[in-house]
A = this chain, B = another copy of it.
Amino acid sequence: MTATSLAHPVLADLAGRLPALRLLTEPSDLEHYGRDWTRRWMPAPLAVALPASVEEVQAIVCWANEHRIYVVPSGGRTGLSGGAVAANGELVLSLERMNRVLGFDAVDRTLTVQAGISLQAVHDAARAHGLIYPVDFAARGSCSIGGNIATNAGGIRVIRYGNTREWIAGLTVVAGNGERLDLNRGLIKNSSGYDLRQLMIGSEGTLGVVVEATLKLTEPPPASQVMLLALPDMAALMQVFALFRVKLNLQAFEFFTDVALKHVLAHGAQRAIDGEHSYYVVTEFDADEDAALAVFEHGAEQGWISDGVIAQSEAQAAALWRLREGITESLAPHRPYKNDISLRISALPVFLQEIQALLGREYPQAEVVWFGHIGDGNLHINVLKPEGLSDADFIAQCEHVTKLLADTLQRHGGSISAEHGIGLVKKAYLGSTRSEAEIALMRGVKQVFDPKGLLNPGKVF
């Protein structure tokens, strides 16, 4: 990759308009900021802009409109659908420098932040005020809140707290047409025309650039218990979920398979249950150890639970959580092909039977790793690249199977993307989840917000 020259006339114009703007054009920077965790596309942006204010973002978008330059909004680039990839001469608009807490309001219980702040920093800021921002997942240290909003990120506490959408009281956005929008401004009730804030959430940077957000906070939950369970099969998993959901006040109910466990143990996690079991669950619930033991006993008597441990300290709880949260990192060296699907919970049992047969048939050599958020109907199915197979051949094979998977999902009313977004990776399968009429309306909406089609081009549709 070669560096873009700042003498490039359109970049010179941008630098002239915004003399204080940090603009990067070195090859290493273009590579770093041009890709995300998918690693499938060769990064090739024109340049990287790191604005420090909403006004700079607005000036960049206006400049892009004048020169018809494509713009890729960029947060922590932890996305798994290629939503932040810049591989075609786009300007990367990184929110990295806009990472501050702007304000906290104790009466409203809101935290106002710039979009580039990490989820972890949001958690810390909330905790400093005795409250929590309850959306949480493993990438918390690297991902940005702007990216979370762009994909309506879910994670491990959705069962209790819902997705990112539920926690956005206000959103400042620079729309694709260059207009600054201050959407909803922290109001709890506001029935005054279309809620464009909601439209922006989950739109993957194709309608506007999220620059600031007012986040709702809430009181910390009561002290909680963390439990690891070993289960014999998928049917037992659904039974145990139904049992635990009714009897305990669940915060999280996450499952993974023996294959996932093998990888996470090889990556340094500590085994917590001996023996061979097909499925595992890490669950967290408001503390009531007696109730927990009673439901555990009941599940064991029914043959649904083979073994289990309950954490006796915060360190043990963290060790149990690591078995689930370390999976993604432990799989990374195997260049997994990732599926992130969801269904209504009621549709899971029949779907799972069909899909296990399908994957067994279609991936005879590849290792398939299942894990996810069973309580939200969200499954992550990771296919590991067999040794010796080229990246290109592996992806071609996976895309063939994903087509079959998408057809099955469509029959069962599921979604091809639960929380990763569509980006580039899932674009070919959008039609399995959304109808032609819906996609046509989405294109129409895109045209309204971004008439020249400059924001995150080629993503979603």
Which residues does A use to contact B, with CB under 8 Å?
105, 107-108, 110, 151-154, 158, 162-163, 165-166, 175, 179-183, 185-196, 198-199, 201-203, 207, 242, 342-346, 373, 376-378, 413-422, 426, 430, 433-435, 437-439, 441-442, 444-445, 447-449, 460-461
The chain B residue sitting closest to A169, CB to CB, is B344
Report whether B344 and A422 are in contact in the complex, using a CB–CB cutoff of 8 Å: no
B183, B342, B439: which contacts A188 (Cβ < 8 A)? B342
Are the CB atoms of B378 and A438 closer together than 8 Å? no
Q: How far is the CA of A450 from the CA of B154 in the complex (A)?
A: 32
Interface pair A448/B438, CB less than 8 Å apart: no
CB distance from A82 to the nearest CB of B (A): 14
Question: Pick the contact of A182 from B105, B185, B419, B435 — CB < 8 Å?
Answer: B435
| A437-B181, A438-B181 as given contacts; A191 in contact with B422, CB under 8 Å | yes
Given contacts A182-B435, A188-B377, A346-B108, contact A203 B194 (CB under 8 A): yes
Smallest CB gap from A188: residue in B: B376
Q: Which residues of B contact A183 (CB under 8 A)?
A: 438
How far is it, in angstroms, between the C-alpha of A445 and the C-alpha of B378 when the chains are bound? 31
Across the interface, do A158 and B188 meet the contact criterion of CB distance under 8 Å? yes
Q: Decide: A195 near B187, CB < 8 A? Known: A435-B181, A437-B181, A444-B448.
A: no
A26 and B145 CA atoms in complex are apart in Å by: 57
Closest to A346 in B: B107
- In the assembled complex, the CB of A237 is this many whole angstroms from the nearest CB of chain B, namely 13
Closest Cβ of chain B to A67, distance in Å, is: 22
* Count of this chain's copies in the oligomeric assembly: 2
A-B contact pairs, 23 of them (CB 8 A): A107-B344, A153-B191, A154-B189, A158-B189, A162-B166, A181-B435, A181-B437, A187-B342, A187-B343, A187-B413, A187-B418, A188-B342, A188-B345, A189-B377, A192-B430, A193-B422, A193-B430, A193-B461, A194-B207, A196-B438, A199-B199, A445-B445, A445-B448
Find chain B residues with CB under 8 A from A163 CB.
Answer: 189
Q: Do B189 and A195 touch (CB < 8 A)?
A: no
A389 to B69, CA, bound (A): 61
Residue in B186, B342, B435, B460 whose CB lies within 8 Å of A189: B342
Tell me which residues across on chain B come within 8 A of A207, comparing CB atoms: 194
Contact, CB under 8 Å: A418 / B448: no
Given contact pairs A107-B345, A344-B108, A346-B107, A426 touches B192 in the complex (Cβ within 8 A): yes
| A449 nearest in chain B by CB position | B441
**A166, B189: Cα distance in complex, Å:** 12
- Which of B187, B193, B433, B461 interacts with A438 by CB under 8 Å? B193
Docked pose: A57 CA to B461 CA in angstroms: 30
Most buried by B among A373, A435, A448: A448
Judge whether A417 and B196 touch: CB under 8 Å.
no
Give the distance in Å from the alpha carbon of A168 to the alpha carbon of B202 in the complex. 17
The residues of B that contact A181 with a CB separation of less than 8 Å are: 435, 437-438, 441
Q: Which chain B residues border A434 with CB–CB below 8 Å?
A: 192-193
Bound-state CA distance A188–B415 (Å) is: 10
